[in-house]
Structures are given as structure tokens and as C-alpha cells.
Amino acid sequence: MTQDMVREIGAMAGELVEWRRDFHRHPELSFAERRTSEVVRAFLETCGIEVRACAGTGLCGLLQGGREGPTIALRADMDALAVAEENDTEYRSQAEGVMHACGHDGHMAILMGAARLLSRHRATLAGNIVFLFQPSEEDPPGGATRMIAEGALDGVDGVFGLHLWQPLPTGQVGVRSGALMAQADKFKVVVNGRGGHASQPHLTVDPVLVASHVVVAAQSIASRFVDPLAPAVVSFTTVHGGRVHNIIPDSVTLTGTVRTLDLGVQGAIKARLREVCEQTCRAFGASADFEYEDGYPPLINDASMVDLVTRAARRELGDTHVTTIEPVMGGEDFAFYLQRVPGAFMMLGAGDGMRYPHHNARFDIDERVLPLGVRLMTAVALEALATRVAGR
């Protein structure tokens, strides 16, 4: 990246904060990002970028370079979460019960900054850049599959994305070849018993007791039926049953999630979890209605594309700002892009002074990361075009 570009990014630092805070004040849920989409579209059009709607509220912006070359895509997600914000800042959410609690507001600001910078230097680009502003990353089945179905990756030779990451120090770039993020599935178990008076438990089939055994028994799946070297998570996250203190209910409903990095492990856990739930219930005279929904697949980074990102990040930010990280057991529908086109997803630390994790009602980012994000995304784009990813 030229020094002129670095100076331009420095000059837009205040605007990056303003854009991020505007999105933060006006969060919108999955596939309802109408205002967000309008703001981004208007901005891209002022940059002379050709824009079309994609996946409902999503956008695809095409920047054609001055010379022939490959086409790469850069992606930012747009949706917020159903979280009531508890931060007391001047830019806190104005939408009741909705909040940017994962950093997507920052992702959009960073990609807008990269779009402006690259559009100013389009004559020097040997190839094309597609800017993907995607709806509904947080809510499976997500927006990536719709973006792909509507042509977002047509003609694209490589795709890149980043996630602002609270666990990393601000400005630290976390990369990893292969599996970076997990398959994120969800399940539901309805434990059917027979209700009755709490003073006569012997006349009932107590689904509260049975559900408790189901939860405990299921913990043996990851600890005793999965290779200890293969990451796996089985978590029960909600328990619903009963209404009053002296009545044993007829049923209890449990929900939870399974996280794996390997499809073989995922299939084994899926089958074993059903068996554990059904057989444990049967042992107590109850029955189980079991439902399992596959979520986003594992996010698998292309090794050569990770090498490309590493080169670009080290050149732009310095060797000490790039590190190989362990896999993250969260899910990301960027995985669908990587199933179609070689690419890489990276984590960019934004955690200095930030105590609260992603999806927390007090989550926030260190806004000093925004110009660094623009530098990183721009550097990766330029490196990809320079190495002509289509012919690697």
C-alpha cells in the first residue's frame, strides 16, 4: 500500500467512527436491514461503484479496475442481534431490544472505508473488486446462501472477510489455515412424562427429573465418545417446563447446540445425542421427541489464501501484529462462500479496554481498530490482485 493510501485512511478515521456509530444507533435484525442497506447503497454510489440488491436487503457492489485481472470479493455482514443494550454511550442503540452486539457495525464501516479508498485508486487496479454487504449472518440459514444463489460469487476468484474480535488485543490479526470456525447446529428435545401432584411423585413420570438426567448423560458424549484431540461442544441452553411449584408437569422442553470442526465428528455426535436422549427417557418410563437442525458448516480457510493474508498483514501492520490462533467454536456463514471459492476469513483484535464478550448487552469495540481494519482489507485486496489469485 502506498503512503498516499495510508494518509487517506488516516484522514477518514473520524468518518469511520461516525459511520460505525450511526449503524450502532440504528441496528436492524436479520433480513430487516432496510435502513442499513439504503445508507450503504447511497455511500457506494457516491464512490462510483455499481450496486445491485442481493438476498433482499443485501448489496453487491462492483468496482472495475483500470486493467484486466482477477475478480476478488470482500464481505461485511449487516445484521444486529435481539439484545437490549445496557451501555450508556451517546451512540447506544435507539431500537428497543436490538443491538449491534457482535461488531457488524464496525465490519460495515471498515468495508465502506476500503471501498472509498480502492475506488479512488481504481485506475491502478489490475482486476475487479466485489463488495458484499450481506444480511442475516446471525440467524441460520443465514444470508450467504441467498447471496450465492443470486450470483454474488459469479466470476469471483477469491473471497475474503474479517471479524472484529474482542478476545484479541486491538490491531492483532488472527489467522489459521484449515478449520477456523465450527459447524454450529441446534437441537430440541421434548421430554414427555405424566404430570400430577407434586406430593405424589410415585403416580407420575416426572419429566423434570428425566430431563435432568438427559442433560447430565449428554455430557458424556464429548468426553467419552469423541477423540480428545477433536474439538466438540454439546451445550444445553434452555429448559422450559411447569408453571407452579406444586404440580409436576407433563413435559419439559430442552434446547441446545452442538459445535464441531469435522463433519465426521458432527455426524457421530448427532446420532449419539439422539440415542442418549431417547434411551435415557425410556429408562425412566418417559419418551423423547428429538429434533436436530444442521447449522452453518465448518469454516475452512484455504491455506494459500491464508498465506496471502499473512503476507499482506505483516507487510502492512508488522510481523508482531499477526498470529496463528486456535479454532473458534462459534459459527459463521462465511463458510458457504469458502465452499464455493478459495478464500480466507481473519480475526482482527478490537479488545483493548473492552471487558464484555460478543453477544453481551455491554459489548463494545475499541474504535481505534477501524482504520487498521481498512488498511488490512485494502492490503489483502491489493495483494490478491497483485498475485493474480485466479492463476495461483
- Enzyme catalytic residues: 296, 367
CB atoms within 10 A of CB 197: 11
CA 288: distance to chain centroid? 32
For 158, list phi and psi in degrees, rounded to 5. Answer: -160, 150
Please tell me whether residue 99 adopts helix, strand or coil conformation. Answer: strand
* Site of grid cell 474479517: 162
CB 272 within 8 A of CB 344: no
Q: Is the dihedral of CA 226, 230, 234, 235 positive or negative?
A: positive
CB atoms within 10 A of CB 88: 7
CB 335 within 8 A of CB 20: no
Give Cα separations from 263 to 50, 55, 148, 302 (angstroms).
38, 27, 22, 17
298, three cell numbers = 465448518
